[in-house]
């Protein structure tokens, strides 16, 4: 099983590739990386960061990989620095994803009702096009609203949100919905191919906003799907791991902009994944 993670390297702040590579690789599959940019920190909550766009290198990297005959079972894309890079991801998909491979898009664009710096409406429009090429998309609520032209304030009518997202991609999974169910907070709302129904998964609500939570969730979801679990199991494992990581970060009292302290929660995630993956065989 060979996975390709396309994302930036934010050297400090625990998001993008510094989260995706360790989590996906620890899940027990090969994880190659295609860096889109190198930043001294991510852009959420820091000022004065460096940002080197790597777009120029990407065509030559792909050309080299083609000479090696590389093909991927799963490609996951995350933070993309420009509209050009959206087009490049489409090319990577067409040239390097196996015929029956899985394209997963994390349409990283914003959080808490706002687009991140460097993103605007033309980028959102192009991102809709990339989502149309995906089998699975994992937007947070802000990104789901942007992709469906839904005002953020109305966002948590997740039934209609998911229906709209499904016009872009067959298996959307939205994180960060805030609705209550059985005393817990719904953190994931998703469609699964297995039943075609809208499903929800709820965990304990932890107050606060934690940078990098979407990256931990997406990476764990990819790890679980790569190990052959079904969508329900992958969502449950990814959501539980993310929630445990958020709880740990809150307990540690580290600044939210430095990302989730998921390291000490990884073993429990991997053990649960191993049990689930063995059951899936």
Contact residues toward ligand PXL (CB under 6 A) are 8, 10, 15-16, 39, 42-44, 79, 108, 116, 212, 214-215
Closest separation in Å from C-beta 194 to ligand PXL: 29
Closest separation in Å from C-beta 246 to ligand PXL: 14
Q: At what angle do helices 231-252 and 213-226 cross, to 10 degrees?
A: 140
Closest separation in Å from C-beta 135 to ligand PXL: 21
- H or E, element range at 273: helix 266-280
Of 192 and 259, which CB lies nearer to ligand PXL in the complex structure? 259
Rounded (to 5) percent helix, strand, coil in the chain? 45, 25, 30
Q: How far apart are CA 105 and CA 85, in angstroms?
A: 13
Of 142 and 150, which CB lies nearer to ligand PXL in the complex structure? 142
Closest separation in Å from C-beta 157 to ligand PXL: 25
Of 27 and 36, which CB lies nearer to ligand PXL in the complex structure? 36
* Cα 140 to Cα 67, 137, 163, 258, 266, distances in angstroms: 37, 10, 15, 19, 22
Number of Cα atoms under 13 Å in the Cβ half of residue 100: 2
Q: How far apart are CA 219 and CA 134, in angstroms?
A: 16
* Cα 103 to Cα 116, 128, 137, 163, distances in angstroms: 24, 14, 9, 20
Of 15 and 136, which CB lies nearer to ligand PXL in the complex structure? 15
Tokens of 252: 């540690």
Q: Strand (E) positions, 85-223?
A: 97-105, 110-111, 114-115, 136-137, 171-175, 180-181, 184-191, 198-203
Closest separation in Å from C-beta 24 to ligand PXL: 16
Q: Strand (E) positions, 122-170?
A: 136-137
Closest separation in Å from C-beta 137 to ligand PXL: 15
Of 141 and 276, which CB lies nearer to ligand PXL in the complex structure? 141
Of 18 and 27, which CB lies nearer to ligand PXL in the complex structure? 18
Of 44 and 155, which CB lies nearer to ligand PXL in the complex structure? 44
Closest separation in Å from C-beta 42 to ligand PXL: 4
Closest separation in Å from C-beta 17 to ligand PXL: 9
Of 4 and 218, which CB lies nearer to ligand PXL in the complex structure? 218
Residue nearest to ligand PXL (CB): 44
Q: How far apart are CA 18 and CA 91, in angstroms?
A: 24
Q: How far apart are CA 259 and CA 246, in angstroms?
A: 9
């Amino acid at each position: 099983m060979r996975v390709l993670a396309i994302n930036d390297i934010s050297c400090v702040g625990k998001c993008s590739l510094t989260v995706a590579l360790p989590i996906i690789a620890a899940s027990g599959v090969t994880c190659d990386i295609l860096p889109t940019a190198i930043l001294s920190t991510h852009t959420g909550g820091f000022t004065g960061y460096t940002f080197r766009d790597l777009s120029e290198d990407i065509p030559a990297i792909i050309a080299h990989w083609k000479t090696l005959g590389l093909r991927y079972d799963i490609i996951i894309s995350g933070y993309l620095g420009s509209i050009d890079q959206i087009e490049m991801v489409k090319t990577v998909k067409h040239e390097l994803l196996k015929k029956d491979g899985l394209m997963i898009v994390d349409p990283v664009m914003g959080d808490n009702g706002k687009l991140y710096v460097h993103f605007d409406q033309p980028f959102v429009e192009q991102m809709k096009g990339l989502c149309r090429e995906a089998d699975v998309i994992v937007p947070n609520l802000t990104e789901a609203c942007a992709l469906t032209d839904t005002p953020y304030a109305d966002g948590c009518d997740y039934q209609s949100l998911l229906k709209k997202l499904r016009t872009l991609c067959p298996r959307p999974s939205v994180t960060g919905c805030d609705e209550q169910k059985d005393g817990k907070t719904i953190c994931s709302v998703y469609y699964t191919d297995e039943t075609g129904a809208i499903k929800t998964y709820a965990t304990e609500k932890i107050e606060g906003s934690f940078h990098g939570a979407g990256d931990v969730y997406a990476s764990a979801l990819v790890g679980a799907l790569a190990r052959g679990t079904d969508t329900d199991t992958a969502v449950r494992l990814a959501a539980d791991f993310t929630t445990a990581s958020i709880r740990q970060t809150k307990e540690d009292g580290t600044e939210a902009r430095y990302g989730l302290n998921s390291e000490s929660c990884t073993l429990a995630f991997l053990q649960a994944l191993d049990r689930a993956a063995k059951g899936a065989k």
